[in-house]
Chain A
Amino acid sequence: MPTAPSLLQRTPLYDRHVAAGGRLVEFAGWEMPVQYTGVTAEHLAVRESCGVFDVSHMGEIETSGPQAAQLLQRLLSNDVSAIGFDERTGEGVAQYALLCRDDGGVIDDLITYRLGHERFLTVTNAANHRRDLEWFQEQARAYPDARVSDAAASFAMLAVQGPAARGIVERLGSEPLPARMRAGERTLAGVHSLVCGTGYTGEDGVELMCAPQDAGALWDGLLERGAVPAGLGARDTLRIEACLPLYGNELTLEREPIEAGLGWACKEHTGFIGADAVERARRDPPAEQLVAFVVDGQGIARAGNPVEGGGEVTSGTHSPSLGGAIGMAYVPRARAGDGSRLQIDVRGKMRAAVVRPKPLYRKG
């Protein structure tokens, strides 16, 4: 049942979304803009210049203390010892990882930033935040010198993405921005911000975190310099073109990282929870594999559409940058090769599709 509107959470930018003509919809318990002027225009703004997304619904968990790195090494699939911190510049590394159960089932996918010698900030998916936090706290019991705290209420988050994004953000401050997959503190439009060289669109850009009460000033500064407000609709079409997984679609408790094609984010030698299952899956590959596809002809395959011979579509949309319909699907390994032809049951009509290498879109 949909949550009653009064129970939905609003980000600090809610009034600005309304003022910008945003169409607000329920998303993971939040009232979020799905679009302003239109998905295609916002999508193309990100591909061609710069779009700004309010992603303040995403959660944050702070892990600190002498055993913080050890705890995270146990929780996260990637090698946390590679998340360095440069004391001189105050910049830390950003790293993508999965949070797995012992059987390899994916609890969430996360980016962790290092904020200091013994301080890490992990960004969670809004729908999973509570569950992630409980999992962190449960595992932290074995690490008395690590502290886990819920930092979701401490941050607003803006994703500024596109070829012009870095230039626009840089002009709000006076220093160069951290490089890709690096994070550092800057003052932007007078706002103390954590600037992260990360994103979810397949374009260059940054993600900015700041205190909720400062988000408006940052948003206004970005718009004044030409960033185009973009909603969840464009965020979805952009990430599907770039073949970036979305938790709940490509990633679930029932799938482990190898079949999702995320073996690169798993370093089993670290002994993370789920490492044994991942090692087994590498040795003895799972029956299905996540692929990207392009629909050959008419129709749009959508999440949940079955693939003939096994498997199903996890995400599908019309692609504004490539034209035509694209998507991702789990298919039997024998059908996962480049050029493999699929038949997808789109509400009773069979639609032809072809497996293509990921990502479907690569920035120029």
Chain B
Amino acid sequence: MAQDSYPEELLYHPEHDWARIDDEQGHATLGITWFAQDALGEVVFFDPPAIGTTLTKDSSYAEIESVKAVSDVIAPLSGEIVEVNGGLSENPELVNEDPYGEGWLVKVRMSDASERGQLLDAAAYRATLAG
């Protein structure tokens, strides 16, 4: 998508990741923001971690590669990976085209529901970009 966009229903991490809380059992979907994909340029490879891998909030859990560079993906929440977006192995450009939809990266089972409160809403995340 060409125009910047930060959906209201998502939670944001200042390292340019988003989380969508999927249900009350603590499942969440994670991805990178419009800003992150735009800065990276065309994504050509996402190397997902194995299902069952433990994520620690604020730590890198995967790498994403564009034509230009490789970048760490930071976990906005702690938890365990329950699913990875297999569609990205064939079509990594989905991360650019639809970063909040088809371009999601992993689904997790959160290990600490209280971490949600530490994330930013869309307005607060936008404010970090304005600087």
Contacts and interface: CB of A to CB of B under 8 A. Distances in A.
Nearest to B43: A318
Interface in B55-78: 63, 65-68, 70
Given A299-B47, A300-B65, A38 B70 contact: no
B46 to A, nearest CB: 10
A38 B63 contact: no
Contact of A39 (B42, B45, B65): B42
B19 interface: no
B26 interface: no
A267 to B, nearest CB: 37
State which size class the interface on B falls in.
10 to 19
A320 B93 CA distance: 13
A362 B7 CA distance: 45
Interface in A309-333: 317-318, 320, 325
A39 B67 contact: yes
A35 to B, nearest CB: 6
Could you say which of A34, A38, A40, A318 has the most chain B C-beta atoms within 10 Å of its C-beta? A318
B44 A318 contact: yes
Interface residues of A, number: 17
A233 interface: yes
B41 interface: yes
Contacts of A325: 45
A300 B44 CA distance: 9
Given A318-B65, A347-B63, A300 B70 contact: yes
A166 interface: no
B45 A299 contact: yes
Contact of A300 (B41, B45, B89): B45
Interface of A: 34-35, 38-40, 233, 237, 298-300, 302, 317-318, 320, 325, 347, 349
Closest 3 CB pairs of A and B: A318-B44, A39-B67, A318-B67
Interface of B: 41-42, 44-45, 47, 63, 65-68, 70, 89
Given A38-B41, A347-B70, A349-B47, 9 more contacts: A34-B68, A39-B42, A39-B68, A40-B42, A233-B67, A317-B67, A318-B67, A320-B67, A347-B63
